Amino acid sequence: RLYGYGARKFVCVGLGVIGCIPAQRIKSQTEECNEEASHWSVMYNEALKSMLQELKSELNGMTYTYFDTYSVMQSIIQNPTPQGFTEVKSACCGLGRLKAKVPCIPISSVCSNRSNHVFWDLYHPTQATARIFVDTIFDGPSQYTFPINLRNLIAA
């Protein structure tokens, strides 16, 4: 429908590592990622990329960028230190184990340094994580944003 209204440039964002959010980790005694949930994230992302490639071949003049949130988030979780993170499992705000038993509410305890946490609450990334996402989608390499990054999409 957007194409019918004249839109020709699109930004599509894939799912992150859903199995590694605190809401999924809390389901495991070892607090490890839920591999099944992560598998379905990958499957969704693959289908989305395939759909985008099909649309590009069908819709004259359509250009897009796809942001591989999954790979960027996985990179942060597997190697957090270079990005300044020290906590990849627990939420910054919430209650209970991993601060993921109860969502962030007014009586929740909040971490003292939210910039070193990957997750704000049991589902969402912190501002520090979101900043990495934004910087990567705008100027990132084709490893994470393809076929072009957002800066190049705007210029196209």
Sort strands 87-91 and 93-94 into parallel, antiparallel or unpaired.
Answer: unpaired
Angle ∠(103,36,24) on CA atoms, nearest 5: 15
pLDDT at 115: 96
- Tens digits of residue pLDDT in 14-27: 999 999 999 999 99
Q: CB under 8 Å, gap of 24 or more: what pairs does 99-104 form?
A: 99/22, 100/22, 100/23, 100/25, 100/26, 101/26
Q: Where are the beta strands (DSSP E) in the chain?
A: 9-13, 63-67, 87-91, 93-94, 109-110, 117-119, 145-146
Sort strands 63-67 and 109-110 into parallel, antiparallel or unpaired.
Answer: unpaired
Mean residue pLDDT across the chain: 97
Rounded CA-CA distance 69/17 in Å is: 8
- CATH: 3.10.350.10, 3.40.50.1110, 3.40.605.10, 3.30.70.141. Which one for 3-155? 3.40.50.1110
pTM attached to this predicted model: 0.92
Banded model confidence at residue 112, pLDDT cuts 50, 70, 90: very high
How deeply is 105 buried, as exposed, middle or buried, from its count of CB atoms within 10 A (0-12, 13-18, 19+)? exposed
Rounded CA-CA distance 59/149 in Å is: 20
Contact present, 153 and 64 (Cβ < 8 Å): yes
Q: Pick from 119, 132, 128, 143: which is nearest to 24 by CA?
A: 119
- Tens digits of residue pLDDT in 67-104: 999 999 999 999 999 999 999 999 999 999 999 999 99
Q: Which 8-state DSSP code applies to residue 145?
A: E
